[in-house]
Structure 1
Amino acid sequence: MNTGNLNVRTGPGMGYGSIATLPFGFGVQMVARNSEGNWILIQLTNGVNGWVNVNYLFTQYNTNSLPVSDVPVAPTVTPTARVTGALNANLRNGPSTDNAVIGTVPLNETVVLLGRNYNSTWAQVRRSNGAVGWVEASALTGTVPVRSLSLADGSVFVPYAPSYPGENTTGTNYRTHVVVAGDSLSRLAERYSTTMYAIAAVNNIYNYDLIYIGQTLLIPG
């Protein structure tokens, strides 16, 4: 890869939602191409397939030799969802129950899906009155899966965290820690006598600056 962060999309075009964001230098396996040859189907390390623009890949392989695997053009219909999980769904100013409630979305109201958080448990939505906020994904039934939406919480997701020399956690016993305000990976590492890299590795965290209040972390050691 030859770009800072590369979106992996559900189809060969900018109109498709992002299912992952890969960092510069991340190795990928090429599987196929679209008929125009400008999008490449790749397989991530967790077995999930997705599409990336060929202009952001660095490879000596002739991508035109890949088999063709076209899919329909992305629909122009805006993804929406209905509230189906509760009488009223709380609309919050962030993707956590610790974020403030800024309104409610009544049962069966249709909202526009704008994005998702790092693990697709929350969706950013827009109501018909223009109010924008976050709703738990479990309370929604959408026209597209929440996981197919683009990331909207500023996080960076990769299928597995990078490995680090000396950070072998095989056979390690784990404790759990629920993130509270003021926590950081470095502070947790100091508190539990481990390293921030070990915590990141076992929790599939790539961006060390992004942990969330209410998130449950495994702590090796």
Structure 2
Amino acid sequence: MPPRPSNPDNLTTGQPGYLIVNTDNLNIRSGDGPEYTVVGVVDGGTELIVLGRNENRTWWYVQVADIKGWVIGELSIVRGDLTNIPVVPVLGEVARPSLYVFVEATLFTIPVEGALGVCQIAGDRDYYVIGRTVSSVWLELEATCDGATVTGWVKAELGGLRNAANSFIPVTD
């Protein structure tokens, strides 16, 4: 889970401008788009110090506590004057494809129902997707079992694929 930072009250006093979060659970990302990794989450009403913006003024580079990252402009309210905020280069990390597995599942050694199991993986969490079958019915995941990083296969229908960057998932079977 990403950190949930907050700023002390009145931190933005004296700033020429700042943002107020206008939704609950706003993601702070490593870059100016939904394809970038989440580095923090802030609550509605949180005041954000603005450090920069993207070229289109659609994303703001902000700081809250010790977290710096990008928030989408349409989910925040501008207070004060942000006209002189500089354009900041985006250096973020694109999020890797993942499968949000709904319930506990068996990770198989090959993409065949009833094959030898590698281990059981917990539900209600994300696992990185490192490959797929040609039909994309099965996905190869990276998981931790008994303290060791392992790979194995699950049916795609057991979860929800998250691939905001539309990254290519190679055929690995």
Return the TM-score normalized by structure 2.
0.48
TM norm structure 1: 0.39
Bigger proportion of residues as helix: 1
Structure number with higher relative contact order (C-alpha < 8 Å, ≥ 6 residues apart): 2
